[in-house]
A and B are shown apart, each in its own frame.
Chain A
Amino acid sequence: MFNKTTIVTAAALAALAFPAAAEENLQIDFPPESPVSVVSMDWGASDATPRGGALVVDLHTSLKLRNASQRRIRGITLLVLAQEVTPGGKASVSAPSLDVGPGQVFPVRIDLRLLRPLQRGTGPLVKVGLDGVLFEDLSFYGPNRLNSRRSMTVWERQAQRDRAYLKRILKAKGAEGLQREVLTSLARQGERRRPDVRVAGTGRATNIDAGEQYQLTFLGFPGAPVEAISGTARMSGREARAPVMEMKNRSARPVRHLEVGWIFKDADGREFVAGAVPAALELAPGESRKVDAGRVLRFSRPLMVESMSAYLTHVEFEDGEVWIPSRDELASQGLDRLAGPSPEEQRLTNLYRKKGLKALIEELDKF
């Protein structure tokens, strides 16, 4: 039971461990030549609560950033570091699907909860920096420590693809056809199965080689610059070892990175995307290479897997250009219902849900 002394002590420790001004716990550090600048910070309901021998710090901030460049911004990624709390990890907050003109102000929201011992360290708990900004012409600014250039380029290419797709629907089938398409997308988003997975620091398996081996079925796309020749993966109880694949570059351009979506079909015949398997590799035109991430996914409960399949989600060429599958290619393999919606598809369907069909059509007309 708590008595007065305990409560007063905990409050005193909390006061020592958490400064009265919440902003002292968060440091924004953008380079001087950054194309975005901080206009203001809203701290909302940030607070600190002692819990046993630990302190729970809730940081809710909305940053107002200004586009200080002369180009339109399509996306931004902020790097979030809390080294005192999690020395082994980092985080980022990205805002894709933007259309911010020069001089315009836009918000980026960061909601963090930190749990740490009561003993206070020195300096701010959280440091927020700029990892990258993507412009309308797909040029990039930033240290790119999290490879946000590639991620934001993929999201922007997906945004262009999905807007063009919805415009085609609107043109071919009218507003009613567009509405049906959006409702179908919303239904798919609601039904999409979340992979019940944890990722460990090492990510390495101990006894996975004793598990069952699965031959991967590749869902190929005719226009893909890379094709999978073969692939196997292992599964043992709750652990699934990332596939070992033989990939061939069939394009005329060198490839430096690719990513494969890994699909599981369980004993009930339900399919879901368990994870993405990235591979950084130098793949010259016509060259084949084995891809082995050597990592493991761990599910929260044993999974009865009937079969596994895979598909190419994107390919990055040596010059930074990105290939993604088209909507028709995804639909031809039934991946329109399995693969999650792009960030832009999420934004547009949410716009329809909140503001209606007219607002969606007006938004599509802007691009």
Chain B
Amino acid sequence: MKHPSEVDLALYSGGDLPFWRRWKVAWHARGCPECRREAERFRDETNSIAGAASELPDDLNWDRLAAEMRANIRVGLQAAECVAPAEVPARAMNWRVAVALASLALVVVSGFWLHAPRPPDMAETGAGVVLSATAEGLELLDEDRALTLMHASSEPVMLSVNVDGAMAEHYVDDETGMVTINNVYVQ
């Protein structure tokens, strides 16, 4: 015959066992005088402790008791921290991921820098008229107005720049075979 453990008997005596285990222990104690006596002994001790607890000493200082309890709680918490498992350091980032992220950041920053609005440079300041050579010809741009002197040639067009503020394109006209020189001057 298998007897219930002391823990189960103690819990049974206090009425703290779940229903099914309480029924099993009660069924066993009914046919087992030894376990029945043991359960009664636990019940008597519980009653005597409860009776003793109801009689508190007259000089009990509740404030001191509360302070001691708080101190014990702090000591317990600190002790728990001491024995807690060590914190696992963050895993080092893979170097390939780091390089990829750095490259991405470089692209984003470069794109922003290249497209960020900036103060107009020398060519756009002052008179506001800018002369440049495009694929079609010489373009004189003045804000919302422009004049382009186009060249009618499929052959190489010779461009020359005059620092006094002029550009010239030399080309041979496809139709006439005549050499033509377009000049545009900025004042």
- Name B132-187 residues within 8 Å CB distance of A: 132-133, 136-138, 140, 142, 144-152, 155-156, 158-167, 170-173, 175-187
Whether A201 pairs with B128 at a CB distance below 8 angstroms is yes
B10 an interface residue at 8 Å Cβ cutoff?
no
Among the 9-residue stretches B35-43, B56-64, B80-88, B116-124, the one with 4 or more Cβ atoms under 8 Å from chain A is: B116-124
Q: State the CA gap A344–B179 with chains docked (Å).
A: 8
- Name A53-106 residues within 8 Å CB distance of B: 53-54, 62, 80, 82, 85-98, 106
Whether A239 pairs with B122 at a CB distance below 8 angstroms is yes
A39 an interface residue at 8 Å Cβ cutoff?
no
B152 to chain A, nearest CB (A): 6
B125 an interface residue at 8 Å Cβ cutoff?
yes
B97 an interface residue at 8 Å Cβ cutoff?
no
Whether B172 pairs with A347 at a CB distance below 8 angstroms is yes
Contact residue among A117, A190, A341 (Cβ-Cβ distance under 8 Å from B144):
A117
Chain A hits for B158, CB < 8 A: 189, 192, 340-341, 346
Chain B hits for A344, CB < 8 A: 179
The interface size of chain B toward A, counting residues with CB under 8 Å, comes to: 56
Chain B hits for A203, CB < 8 A: 163-165, 186
A15 an interface residue at 8 Å Cβ cutoff?
no
Whether B129 pairs with A195 at a CB distance below 8 angstroms is no
A4 an interface residue at 8 Å Cβ cutoff?
no
| A107 closest partner in B (C-beta) | B176
Whether A276 pairs with B179 at a CB distance below 8 angstroms is no
B141 to chain A, nearest CB (A): 8
- Name A330-353 residues within 8 Å CB distance of B: 340-341, 343-344, 346-347, 350-351, 353
- With A116-B145, A346-B170 known as contacts, the answer to whether A89 contacts B161 (CB < 8 A) is no
Whether A199 pairs with B142 at a CB distance below 8 angstroms is no
Interface centre among B147, B166, B172, B187 (most CB of A within 10 A): B147
A150 an interface residue at 8 Å Cβ cutoff?
no
What residues make up the interface of A, taking CB atoms closer than 8 Å to B? 53-54, 62, 80, 82, 85-98, 106-109, 111-117, 146, 155, 189-190, 192, 194-195, 197-206, 238-239, 242, 262, 273-278, 293, 295-298, 340-341, 343-344, 346-347, 350-351, 353-354
What residues make up the interface of B, taking CB atoms closer than 8 Å to A? 121-133, 136-138, 140, 142, 144-152, 155-156, 158-167, 170-173, 175-187
